[in-house]
């Protein structure tokens, strides 16, 4: 289906459409390309967003010291406590739980964290109190500084920056909620913006748009949430009566510069060539997974699928290859252990029973050796989960 909205832009403006800014009214149906999805107001269309890809702002206090009390460390945090790599953890995410439930949008990121001290927890010697030095990047909003009494009802789960791999848990992080100076707002330029864009009528009033990247067909590829205010408008070098609009504010999880080639790989539409994800290193394959189109049905059972395992050298590569095997190039079948469970339960295309022929399985088994929670390799755990749901998995 052609997108007349996108075609009209290209014909009238003579320049490609690459981004739209929309403001959500309510949750429209997933999997529909704007403007066909209901529940959104269009704020602006533009040819590019200059400054969108950037390094995250440096925390206002680059080297704070925090103590993770009564911690049960796992993975890289356990290694750092044991003194590996000089105690360096790298970046780590702290999720806040209240009475056992995750408090959404209240995650703290520790940047370049290093273990500087550790000792057995006095109340439980099997746990450890860990002092870390790190830059602290707070969430874009919070409930303020909770009282000491309220903090006693909190728990904390620790993860890698993407929130996929557990680093353990702890019972208290007392200095986590203290007030910090917010980083400087980011500045973006919406190049080739429609002069009648509703965003411009807001003046300097803040808008809360989603910045959505679209491919050449007008299909939404991915995006980021933001809080933006218009600072300046001027005629665009692209001509056609278009404007370049400077905005300032915050972009949630602003994409780093190295992610831009991943987005560009999808600009011509859904991939048709197998293994396009394999050209990217493991850390960028996570972004590829965010770009994969979710198949919401109809569910189908039976059939045989083939997984090309030559390039499965990490967790994200495994899920890229699995999604492609079961859904074709650009296919989605989970990004991690938990989302794989969701896919196997239905709603994403292939549902067991089916047959999966995993070629070159040994590549994944070796690459992910020692990274399983119960088995020797994460690859073996994935095979076990597939078989547990009734899939026949042949390893070659």
CB 83 within 8 A of CB 76: no
The sign one gets for the Cα dihedral 97, 99, 105, 108 is negative
What pLDDT score does 297 carry? 67
- pLDDT for 31 equals 39
34, 47, 143 from 213: Cα distances, Å: 11, 10, 31
User: In 3-state terms, what secondary structure has residue 341?
Assistant: helix
Q: How confident is the model at residue 7 (pLDDT cuts 50, 70, 90)?
A: very low
Give the per-residue pLDDT at 34.
45
Query: What domains are defined for the chain?
Result: 4-54+184-255 (4.10.410), 64-177 (no CATH), 270-395 (3.30.370.10)
Torsion of Cα atoms, 275 then 280 then 284 then 288, to 10°? -30
At residue 86, what are phi and psi to the nearest 5 degrees? 65, 20
Per-residue model confidence (pLDDT) at position 194: 87
Q: What is the pLDDT of residue 303?
A: 94
Average pLDDT over residues 269-289: 94
For the ranges 151-155, 344-348, 351-355, the maximum mean pLDDT occurs at 351-355
Give percent of the chain with pLDDT exceeding 70. Answer: 87
What band does 58 get if pLDDT is binned at 50, 70 and 90?
low
Is the model's pLDDT at 203 over the cut of 80? no
pLDDT at 312 over 80: yes
Torsion over CA: 280, 283, 286, 287 (sign) = negative
> pLDDT tens, 25-45?
754 444 344 444 456 788 999
What pLDDT sits at residue 141? Answer: 66
Section 309-338 average pLDDT? 94
CA distances from 209 to 158, 162, 224, 228, 324 (A): 30, 23, 9, 7, 32
Please tell me the predicted confidence (pLDDT) of residue 13.
59
Q: Which residues have a Cβ under 8 Å from the Cβ of 94 and sit 6 or more positions away?
A: 107, 108, 109, 110, 156, 157, 158, 173, 176
The pLDDT assigned to 217 comes to: 85
List the structure tokens of 302.
């039976």
pLDDT for position 178: 85
pLDDT in tens, 214-252: 998 888 999 999 999 999 999 999 988 899 999 999 888
Closest CA to 107 of 84, 139, 70: 139
Predicted pLDDT at 250: 87
- The pLDDT assigned to 29 comes to 42
pLDDT band of residue 95 (cuts 50, 70, 90) is very high
Residues 38, 41, 42, 48, CA torsion sign: negative
Give pLDDT, residue 32.
40
> What's residue 106's pLDDT?
83
d(CA 91, CA 84): 15
Look at residue 258 and tell me whether its pLDDT is greater than 80: yes
Q: Considering only residues 334 and 370, tell me which one the structure prediction assigns the higher pLDDT.
A: 334
Q: What is the chain's percent helix, strand, coil content, to nearest 5?
A: 25, 35, 40
């Amino acid at each position: 289906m052609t997108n007349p909205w996108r075609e009209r832009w290209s014909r009238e403006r003579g320049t490609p459409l690459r981004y739209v800014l929309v403001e959500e009214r309510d949750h429209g149906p997933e999997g529909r390309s704007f403007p066909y999805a209901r529940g959104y107001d269009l704020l602006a269309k533009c040819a590019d967003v200059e400054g969108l890809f950037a390094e995250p702002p440096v925390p206002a206090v680059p080297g704070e010291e925090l103590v993770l009390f009564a911690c049960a460390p796992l993975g890289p945090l356990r290694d750092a406590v044991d003194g590996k790599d000089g105690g360096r953890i790298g970046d780590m995410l702290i999720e806040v739980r209240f009475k056992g439930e995750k408090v959404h949008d209240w995650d703290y990121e520790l940047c370049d964290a290093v273990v500087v001290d550790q000792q057995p927890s006095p109340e439980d010697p099997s746990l450890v109190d860990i002092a870390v030095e790190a830059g602290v990047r707070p969430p874009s909003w919070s409930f303020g500084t909770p009282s000491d009494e309220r903090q006693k009802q909190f728990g904390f789960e620790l993860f890698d920056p993407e929130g996929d791999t557990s680093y353990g848990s702890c019972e208290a992080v007392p200095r986590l909620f203290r007030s910090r100076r917010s980083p400087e707002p980011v500045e973006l330029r919406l190049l080739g913006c429609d002069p009648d864009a509703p965003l411009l009528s807001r003046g300097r009033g803040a808008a809360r748009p989603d910045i959505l990247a679209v491919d050449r067909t007008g299909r939404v590829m991915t995006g980021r949430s933001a809080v933006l205010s218009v600072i300046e408008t001027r005629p665009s070098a692209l001509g056609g009566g278009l404007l370049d609009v400077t905005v300032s504010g915050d972009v949630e999880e602003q994409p780093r510069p190295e992610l831009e080639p991943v987005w560009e790989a999808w600009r011509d539409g859904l991939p048709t060539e197998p293994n396009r994800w394999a050209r990217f290193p493991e850390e960028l394959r996570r972004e590829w997974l965010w770009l994969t189109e979710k198949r919401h049905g109809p569910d189908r059972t039976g059939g045989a699928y083939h997984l090309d395992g030559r390039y499965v050298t990490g967790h994200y590569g495994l899920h890229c290859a699995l999604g492609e095997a079961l859904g074709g190039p650009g296919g989605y079948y989970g990004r991690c252990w938990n989302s794989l469970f969701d896919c196997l339960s239905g709603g994403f295309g292939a549902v067991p029973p089916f047959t999966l022929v995993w070629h070159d399985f040994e590549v994944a088994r070796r690459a992910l050796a020692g990274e399983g929670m119960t088995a020797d390799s994460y690859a073996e755990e994935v095979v076990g989960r597939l078989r547990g749901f009734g899939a026949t998995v042949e390893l070659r």
